[in-house]
A and B are shown apart, each in its own frame.
Chain A
Amino acid sequence: MKIVPIFAKKLYSFCYNEEYESELERLLDCWTDITYLFNFLEENKSDLGSRTISEMTIDILEDVDYIEDRLIQLCSDDNENLDFFFKSLYNQEYQFIPLSKQKGRKDYLRLYAIRIDCNCYVITGGAIKLTRIMEERSHTLLELQKLENARLYFKMHGVFDSDSFNEFIY
């Protein structure tokens, strides 16, 4: 496991799999692969309601375009900020929390990340979320575990200690 830069000083990503250079790369690859989407939606057909696999696939592809456009815009424009895209994973989190678990979303797609600083995030994973609660499906539950593991990893490596906490408060 390693952390790689995606866009200098702003966006980073974990890399868990040697086949891909980053988790973000793996997700975008899956989300633009029709075979992957078709099989995933087929396996989760019971969560699609009245929507067909073809309709959902087309919608997801449009959502990926949106996410790609938005990430490029937010990273490359100095007047923009990734804080506009990522929001707290928990809707009831109203104040800044150290190493906060975050989500960036567009309809069914989610990118999950840990907030390191203002306009600085590390992507831990992502999912096609078809249910209301992450605990309801194994693929979203896994993303929760990845977020928690990332947080523990940073704590273990002293990314957030008492000095940082004071820095955070003041």
Chain B
Amino acid sequence: MTNKEKFLTLVSEQNTSTILNIHARMENRSWLKHSQKIALKVLATLKEQGLSQKDLAERMQVSPQIINRWVKGQENFTLETIGKIEKALGIQIFTIVETATTSNLPGRKSVL
């Protein structure tokens, strides 16, 4: 028996979905990037303002479990939710990049 064959006798027959999960993250990467940045902005703001996730949950009248899920950076937020977070924390998360109406005018950057 070769070294590798001996090793293979120790491997579980259980199938794993790690590769499938990687593919799923790759497919959703564009919106996940936004979600991660929103989560990061929320966590940084909570720290700056000395607030807990529970405080934010109370301000937004949602459960702490929901806030906990949001700050993991895997939530596909609606614009309504983003607006409510902005209001609750007094911050701006999104700014739309404006299209220049005349040539060569610089656009505004997102605050994300």
Residues in chain A within 8 A of chain B (CB atoms): 2-7, 12-13, 15, 21-22, 24-25, 28, 32-36, 38, 42, 53-54, 57-58, 61, 65, 68-69, 71-72, 75, 98, 116-117, 120, 122, 154, 157-160, 164, 167-168
Contact = CB atoms under 8 A, between A and B. Distances in A.
Given A34-B36, A116-B3, 20 more contacts: A3-B10, A4-B11, A5-B16, A7-B19, A21-B14, A28-B22, A28-B25, A34-B39, A35-B73, A53-B44, A57-B40, A58-B40, A68-B26, A69-B26, A75-B19, A116-B4, A154-B7, A158-B6, A164-B2, A167-B3
Contacts of A22: 16, 18
Interface majority SS (helix, strand, loop, mixed), chain B: helix
> In which size bucket is the chain B interface?
20 to 34
Nearest to B19: A7
Given A34-B36, A158-B6, A68 B73 contact: no
Contacts, number: 111
Contacts of B16: 4-6, 13, 21-22, 25
B7 A159 contact: yes
B10 A159 contact: yes
B71 interface: yes
Interface of B: 2-4, 6-7, 10-12, 14-19, 21-23, 25-26, 29, 32-33, 36-37, 39-40, 43-44, 47, 68, 71-74
B41 to A, nearest CB: 8
